Structure 1
């Protein structure tokens, strides 16, 4: 579930709306009921912080690792969900101070909850290119380096295989399935370098891949059903740890040809056809 960001008072809130504050927003019962239903169905779930919009909690003026850790702890205690994702993109990728505060807070949370017998697992969701995570300040690789240097135990690195931009959206490009595979392969190599103790199999297991199904923000980038089949086959062959998509409400045609619509992929498909392809990773069955 996503995204938790800072409300105008710097408090953890869904979408940054005060009415959806984690601890007592006037409309927070809607979220609470959804998560209760998930628990009843045996779904543990993941809660994601950050995203492309709003103010990340780590970037709130005057934020400290200790205060931020308490914000994260309030989310864990409220929802009893122990896997947290941190979606770091845009300007936050270049904000070393905020990323350091974030990493220190996450490490504190992991230490505290491990001592309490409720360990918290952490993933990072990061933009990527077919060449891998962008190095240097402002790139995804630097986000992982800061997190690791400050003691964060990262279980998964989830790459957003989408919206690659100029240089990759030219006529005759090899296709979004191939680009996603290239991005995964390059990131796998970066993880092997960042964590030298990992085996190749462990690095693949640490990796997640999330494409934007259908027509991306750039209409020349279209992730098709054939791309989904290609990526799923690759994920099964390499035992990739996670294969997901942005996003469930888009897993239907909606308006054919619509660019990055919220209610459809814009491509001809049956409802939930992308989901049915991706779920093969759970069974390892061939397509």
Structure 2
């Protein structure tokens, strides 16, 4: 039985490796023309496997971008066709995440396009989206996706972040798209835990190789290039700055209120404990403690009266 399991794992690895190579061939030549280095090292170009079902592509050397990392999670293929048939990527469930950190100074922005059914989930998972963003309508200058929502800090900057050509591309590929997440506050995902300003694209991998190239280049890379060179108006930048300040002021007040409530709770607990400790002592000891407290209260009142007289 152990041999069967090992064989199954080995078969899964080689099947997914074949799928990775097929996917790599669909866009590697264009990737090599877009970046100075494709692969972890010059002597190790292309994608690589990490475990049975994860594969990665890493590229560096493009103006405005630190790197691009394509992380593909291939499903565990156990059906008979997958075991004996021709490996094909994009077969229901294969998913990719494209991470692009910016190398230069970019506009401070928090923005997301996300599947409507996942809005609550992505807010829970990303504090920046939970705190700073609200839902906004799609611009009507291009086809409007039916199942995707916009989360933004300021509705007025949406047209600058979603030009008509890009919105049209989103609408055409809506069934593949999970989310776009642009932020200057970093993400919790380990694929880029040390980066602050970046954009992350999450989508299901199509079986059509031309669609794969479209989602890698026109969808992910071209949009990252646009954000890297985007310049907001002074009014737009100031609106975001003021919005963040208002949000942070509210959070600070709430935090201070929570601190005061906690301090009051601790004082009451301390008094209750002192009361219980006193009750456990002899009557003579209790009387001495009461006298001590009475003297302390008198001193406090006297100090208060002196301050008032001054």
TM (norm. structure 2) is 0.22
Say which one has the larger Rg.
Answer: 2
- Which structure is richer in relative contact order (CA contacts within 8 A, separation 6 or more)? 2
TM (norm. structure 1) is 0.23
